[in-house]
Amino acid sequence: MLAKVKSAAVIGIDGFIVHVEVDLSAGLPVFSTVGLPDAAVRESKDRVVAAVRNSGFDFPSRRVTVNLSPADVKKEGTAFDLPIAIGVLAADGLLPLAPMGSHVLIGELALDGRLRPVRGILPIALAARDEGAALILPAANAAEASVVQGLTLVPATSLEQTIHYFRGEWKPEPFVAPVRPAFVAPEGLDLADIRGQLFAKRALEVAAAGSHNLLMIGPPGSGKTMLARRLPGLLTPMTFDESLETRKIHSVAGLGSGAIFGERPFRSPHHTISDVALIGGGTHPRPGEVSLSHNGVLFLDELPEFDRHVLEVLRQPLEEGSVTVSRAAKTVCFPARFMLVAAMNPCPCGYEGHPERECVCTPTAVRKYRGKVSGPLLDRIDMHVEVPALSLAEITEEPPPSEKTSVVLSRILEARARQRARGVLSNARLSGKEVKAHCKLDAPSKTLVKEAVSKLGLSARSFDRILKVARTVADLAGSEPLREEHVAEAVGYRSLDRPLTQSLF
Ligand SMILES: [Zn+2]
């Protein structure tokens, strides 16, 4: 007898329906799977046989043929255990065939028949909903799948429970999704908690308001990481679609549970990271850190310590907002639109320009160190700012009250609204044409820019970036025309454009 069961798989971050056909025929008891399954699917037959027996059923001693289609896509993983086991029992006449068409089944089986959670449940849940089918899934995956609206979930803990379900002997409790509070920036990550650093805080505000990539330069302990950690709290609340897309990526990477829906990701990989881990890839392509940061923040601390090749691969996502990973059989595209925030010391020893400690670096060493971040990557960073060491007074005296994140965020939201009203995504993403249209300079600001260009030896690219940042400064001030003070502030966010002979501080 032939049984047809539905399951699902994931390519990139998208789920699709997989049809599992199980045929039982007379002959030697051989269990074979066809449809290009990889090693994991072949191994699944051992788990399926054990799980069926340990759930109190005989495994049919006939020829079992399992076909997974579509056959032309390589399927991976252990998630087909449950549909194969149910298909075998249905083909053996132990379960009714009729309800199989209206269910999608997914789950890995332990040898004792318990259901284990699988990776990528969110795209699978979306595929099940589009198929108009109920989703039978491991109970441990239910919360992650429950963000998908309009889908019936049947969370099961074991193969036995699933069998009882199809026999009408067990009815699942209606699944109640955990209450999802609106996301609020976590306590203890408020801008007001950081002493001093008014200039850097203002730079963070401008960066957040225009989605400008930001590089902070300062000695160890000056608070660069603390500042970066507060950036997600300064970004606009995530829309449902943004949240869903980000969660899909995390789901495929196996990081689905735990994160709060609507929380902008903050990822800070160590500088020893490989290019595959940063960008994504592998035999079964998985998203890298740039995609895990999608719609959030990617923080690269100690930027010059990253491998040069690793930094070079950042170019594609920074330009295109996505990463294309090609493998022999397929090409997969992962979204990767993030704000890049990087930090570095001013010199190898870290104390160049420090008020109390002496820098021991030679000018050549400093040049070499800063040279590591020059070129194509630096070209994509709109703002580079100094975060100097705090003075003794700033450390020891009670600091003046500082603005809270919520106050700064309200200015940012207004600046964002001005950008949207102009029909642009963000000032950082203005095209050349849009820069001409929206960043017109009046006479005094033209003079100021000309002076800056000749004094600092700015390139044409730097010039464009100054205009974009000046646009954001003006948006924060609620001003449509770009004025001299807006341009002057933007010029101040180009530390690394200054000749090396000039101290950064
Ligand atoms: Zn030094």
Q: Distance (Å, rounded) from C-alpha 125 to C-alpha 151? A: 8
Query: 65 φ, ψ to 5°?
Result: -120, 125
Residue 354 CA to ligand 1 centre (angstroms): 9
Q: Say if residues 122 and 287 touch (Cβ distance below 8 Å).
A: no
At 234, the amino acid letter reads L
- Report the pLDDT value the prediction gives residue 195, as an integer from 0 to 100: 85
- Report the pLDDT value the prediction gives residue 501, as an integer from 0 to 100: 47
End-to-end CA distance of the chain: 79
Written as six digits, the tokens of 4 are 């047809």
- Cis bond before residue 70 (omega within 30° of 0): yes
Q: Say if residues 36 and 72 touch (Cβ distance below 8 Å).
A: yes
- Report the pLDDT value the prediction gives residue 255, as an integer from 0 to 100: 84
Q: Distance (Å, rounded) from C-alpha 369 to C-alpha 176? A: 55
Residue 219 CA to ligand 1 centre (angstroms): 9
pLDDT digits (tens, 9 = 90+) for 300-333: 999 999 998 888 889 889 999 999 988 766 788 9
pTM of the entire predicted model = 0.85
Residue 274 CA to ligand 1 centre (angstroms): 27
Strand partners, 333: 324
Length of the chain: 505
The parts of the chain modelled with pLDDT lower than 50 are 500-501
User: What secondary structure does DSSP assign to 151-201, as a single string?
Assistant: --EEEESBHHHHHHHHTTS--PPPP-PPP-PPP-PPTT--GGGS-S-HHHH
Q: How crowded is residue 206: how many other Cβ atoms within 10 Å of its Cβ?
A: 26
pLDDT digits (tens, 9 = 90+) for 216-265: 999 998 899 999 999 999 999 888 889 889 999 999 888 876 566 778 99
**125 SS3 class:** helix
- Report the pLDDT value the prediction gives residue 385, as an integer from 0 to 100: 93
Residue 494 CA to ligand 1 centre (angstroms): 21
280: phi > 0 → left, psi -120 to 50 → alpha, else beta; which? left
Kindly list the structural domains of the chain, giving each domain's residue range(s) and its CATH number in brackets, ordered by start: 2-166 (3.30.230.10), 191-423 (3.40.50.300)
Residue 348 CA to ligand 1 centre (angstroms): 5
Residue 496 CA to ligand 1 centre (angstroms): 16
Taking alpha carbons only, the member of 64, 66, 81, 68 closest to residue 30 is 64
Residue 153 CA to ligand 1 centre (angstroms): 59
Residue 353 CA to ligand 1 centre (angstroms): 8
> 442 vs 432, 468, 483, 502, CA distance in Å?
19, 15, 7, 30
Residue 362 CA to ligand 1 centre (angstroms): 8
Q: What dihedral angle (degrees, nearest 10) is formed by the CA atoms of 268, 272, 276, 280?
A: 0
User: Locate tokens 């043929």: which residue?
Assistant: 65
